């Protein structure tokens, strides 16, 4: 597989409104918009940083993965997403190498409809890694 870049960093927060004050007002990142992702029980806000994004995630449900993450770890860095050129090929390669996946097949990503899949932290040294075959327009 070929990893092209860090596509985004996912940050779990209790409040996007509060987080926006930090990422936009304090750090000066450009706010791109808010997108719901009901499949993952989150609302996502995007901030551009160079060729990557900061994806700020607020859970829409107490049962959602982001809510559970915050209950266990507090707010903070939730996952890193690497952009790949061919996610199907990447997943096949990972399966052949015995890497535990959360998504055996790609699912549709929150923003822009790209294809994404998560690797299990047990296989990655404790990190939730997302692969995405996606290209978001950044202004």
Partner 1 sequence: MKILNIDHLGVAVDSIDQAVSFWTDILGLSLEGTETVENQKVTTAFFPVGTNELELLESTAPDGPVAKYIAKNGPGIQHVAFRVEDLDAALAELKAKGVPLIDTVPRPGAGGARVAFFASESRQRSVG
Residues that bind partner 1 (CB under 8 A): 1-6, 9, 18, 22, 25-29, 49-52, 73-77, 80, 82-83, 94, 97, 99, 121, 123-127
The CB-of-15 to partner 1 minimum distance in angstroms stands at 10
Give the helix ranges, DSSP H, for the chain.
16-20, 65-73, 87-96, 121-124
The CB-of-38 to partner 1 minimum distance in angstroms stands at 26
* Closest CB to partner 1 among residues 18, 39: 18
Q: What is the DSSP pairing of strand 76-84 with strand 129-133?
A: parallel
The CB-of-6 to partner 1 minimum distance in angstroms stands at 4
**Contact between 129 and 90 (Cβ < 8 Å):** no
The CB-of-115 to partner 1 minimum distance in angstroms stands at 18
* Closest CB to partner 1 among residues 4, 108: 4
**Contact between 80 and 9 (Cβ < 8 Å):** yes
- Nearest CA to 58 among 36, 83, 80, 88? 36
């Amino acid at each position: 597989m070929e990893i092209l870049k860090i596509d985004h960093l996912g940050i779990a927060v209790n409040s996007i409104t509060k987080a926006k004050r930090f990422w936009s007002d304090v750090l000066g990142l450009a706010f791109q918009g808010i997108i719901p992702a009901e499949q993952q029980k989150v609302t996502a806000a995007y901030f551009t940083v160079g060729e990557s994004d900061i994806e700020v995630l607020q859970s829409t449900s107490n049962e959602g993965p982001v809510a559970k993450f915050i209950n266990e770890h507090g707010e903070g860095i939730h996952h890193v997403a690497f952009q790949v050129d061919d996610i199907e090929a990447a997943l096949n390669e990972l399966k052949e190498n015995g890497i535990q996946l959360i998504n055996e097949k790609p699912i549709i990503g929150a923003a822009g409809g790209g294809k994404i899949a998560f690797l299990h932290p047990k296989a990655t040294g404790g990190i939730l890694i997302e692969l995405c075959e996606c290209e978001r327009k950044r202004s």
